[in-house]
Amino acid sequence: MAALSGVRWLTRALVSAGNPGAWRGLSTSAAAHASSRSQAEDVRVEGSFPVTMLPGDGVGPELMHAVKEVFKAAAVPVEFQEHHLSEVQNMASEEKLEQVLSSMKENKVAIIGKIHTPMEYKGELASYDMRLRRKLDLFANVVHVKSLPGYMTRHNNLDLVIIREQTEGEYSSLEHESARGVIECLKIVTRAKSQRIAKFAFDYATKKGRGKVTAVHKANIMKLGDGLFLQCCEEVAELYPKIKFETMIIDNCCMQLVQNPYQFDVLVMPNLYGNIIDNLAAGLVGGAGVVPGESYSAEYAVFETGARHPFAQAVGRNIANPTAMLLSASNMLRHLNLEYHSSMIADAVKKVIKVGKVRTRDMGGYSTTTDFIKSVIGHLHPHGSNL
């Protein structure tokens, strides 16, 4: 259990009510400090929080425009440093990657769109998106799947959390052709990272007052790799006797999520399974357009959509649903201890959905992205009203 000591400080930071969090390293003095390496020459406003913005591909820029418009209307004290990194728009290079990393390392907080990864192999196995996450050690991806009042789906009143390890596993970018027509793709599982994500999941459950953690695996087939992950989860579970611990094989988990998702509370799993389950679960409450997500390292926090889709076919058509990105932006404000603005924006988004008059096509309506943004701005109000 020696590896657990390296992340034990995370527990104290997570469960301490008076501590702003292990990842909240911002201060107003940091906001006034200009970044000489910033690609965007932003004028900092004293007392505001600097946040790195990475629009990404597909409808990402349109979603970020929605965030900026709503933040402006709500007078949110955040200054965005906008950078562009794209493999499909010829805006990706080592220099651009370093600019983004420099900004994110200084600001500690970022909001990003989906950086699309082409399927063609061009000499580099690791995508820029994966490299970005690895260099910042964004090991924990958290997707809170929660039903939106007023929007009926096959399953309603859902409330579950998916926690995914995203720095190793099947996405280790270790592939080679061992013989002609034979490709070996290595799945890497380490004790240190498995214990770290398990500890994160139990710490999260403790802080959020949740009662159960389910470890998802395929240890019946991958006896050593997933067997190690499962063993680490079991060891960590012993440190949290007040939280119920269960295990479930990934294929059964997919079926159970469709048949009876109410049995789940917090789920923790390796990389590929998490990617699949994130999308499956998002579909249960309305799809990629309504579920926010976030990724954490010990120092940094990145806010994004829960199901990462560029939605390229919607580019320029003004039909993208900004709900997920706006809710993610609200979560970012809460992370920055801007509770008032966070609640104001989240409440406005939920009010628009609950009223039901303005809905984008993915939610069965005919409203445009612009219509949705205007409606959200129209519902901005001081926190405290009952929805």
Average pLDDT over all residues of the chain: 85
What is the rounded average pLDDT of the residues 95-102?
86
State pLDDT tens for residues 202-234: 999 999 999 999 999 999 999 999 999 999 999
DSSP-derived pairing of the beta strands 175-179 and 182-185: antiparallel
Does residue 363 carry a pLDDT above 80? Answer: yes
Query: Which of 238, 255, 285 delimits the end of a domain?
Result: 285
Q: Given its phi and psi angles, is residue 63 left (phi above 0), alpha (psi -120 to 50 degrees) or beta?
A: alpha
CA–chain centroid gap for 109, Å, is 12
For residues 323 and 63, give the distance between their C-alpha atoms in angstroms, rounded to a whole number.
Answer: 9
Residue 186 is encoded by which pair of tokens? 């290595």
Model confidence at 14, pLDDT cuts 50, 70, 90, reads very low
Helix (H) or strand (E) holding 128: helix 128-135
Does residue 20 carry a pLDDT above 50? Answer: no
Does residue 254 carry a pLDDT above 60? Answer: yes
Domain assignment present for 126: yes
In a shared domain, residues 114 and 179: no
Domain assignment present for 110: yes
For residues 360 and 200, give the distance between their C-alpha atoms in angstroms, rounded to a whole number.
Answer: 35
Model confidence at 89, pLDDT cuts 50, 70, 90, reads low
Domain assignment present for 322: yes
Domain assignment present for 140: yes
In a shared domain, residues 277 and 197: yes
In a shared domain, residues 281 and 174: yes
In a shared domain, residues 75 and 192: no
Q: Which has the minimum average pLDDT: 164-173, 203-212, 252-261?
A: 164-173
Q: Which residue has the higher pLDDT, 25 or 61?
A: 61
For residues 134 and 297, give the distance between their C-alpha atoms in angstroms, rounded to a whole number.
Answer: 10
Q: What angle do CA 348, 304, 67 make, to 5 degrees?
A: 40
What does the pLDDT read at residue 84? 84
pTM: 0.84
Does residue 59 carry a pLDDT above 90? Answer: no
- Beta bridge partners, 290, equal none
State pLDDT tens for residues 263-318: 999 999 999 999 999 999 999 999 989 999 999 999 999 999 988 766 777 788 99
In a shared domain, residues 263 and 353: no
In a shared domain, residues 175 and 226: yes
What is the count of structural domains for the chain? Answer: 2
Query: Which of 285, 317, 348 delimits the end of a domain?
Result: 285
Q: Which has the minimum average pLDDT: 6-10, 58-62, 70-74, 221-225?
A: 6-10
In a shared domain, residues 136 and 249: no
Q: What is the CATH number of the domain that holds 228?
A: 3.40.718.10
For residues 182 and 311, give the distance between their C-alpha atoms in angstroms, rounded to a whole number.
Answer: 33
What does the pLDDT read at residue 8? 39
In a shared domain, residues 298 and 253: no
Mean pLDDT comparison of 66-70, 100-104, 119-123, highest-scoring range: 66-70
In a shared domain, residues 158 and 276: yes
What does the pLDDT read at residue 116? 72
Q: What angle do CA 1, 194, 175 make, to 5 degrees?
A: 135
Helix (H) or strand (E) holding 225: helix 225-237
Domain assignment present for 33: no
Does residue 44 carry a pLDDT above 80? Answer: no
Give yes or no for a contact between 314 and 338, defined as CB atoms under 8 angstroms apart: no
Model confidence at 168, pLDDT cuts 50, 70, 90, reads very high
Domain assignment present for 328: yes
In a shared domain, residues 139 and 167: no
Domain assignment present for 111: yes
In a shared domain, residues 57 and 159: no
For residues 273 and 217, give the distance between their C-alpha atoms in angstroms, rounded to a whole number.
Answer: 8
**What range defines the domain where residue 87 resides?**
48-144+291-380
Q: Please write down the long-range contacts of 26-35, taking CB distance under 8 Å and 24 or more positions apart.
A: 26/50, 26/107, 26/108, 26/109, 26/336, 30/106, 30/107, 30/108, 31/79, 33/106, 35/81, 35/102, 35/103, 35/106, 35/107
Does residue 340 carry a pLDDT above 60? Answer: yes
In a shared domain, residues 242 and 214: yes
- Beta bridge partners, 345, equal none
Give yes or no for a contact between 130 and 295, defined as CB atoms under 8 angstroms apart: no
Query: Which of 253, 285, 317 delimits the end of a domain?
Result: 285
Domain assignment present for 195: yes
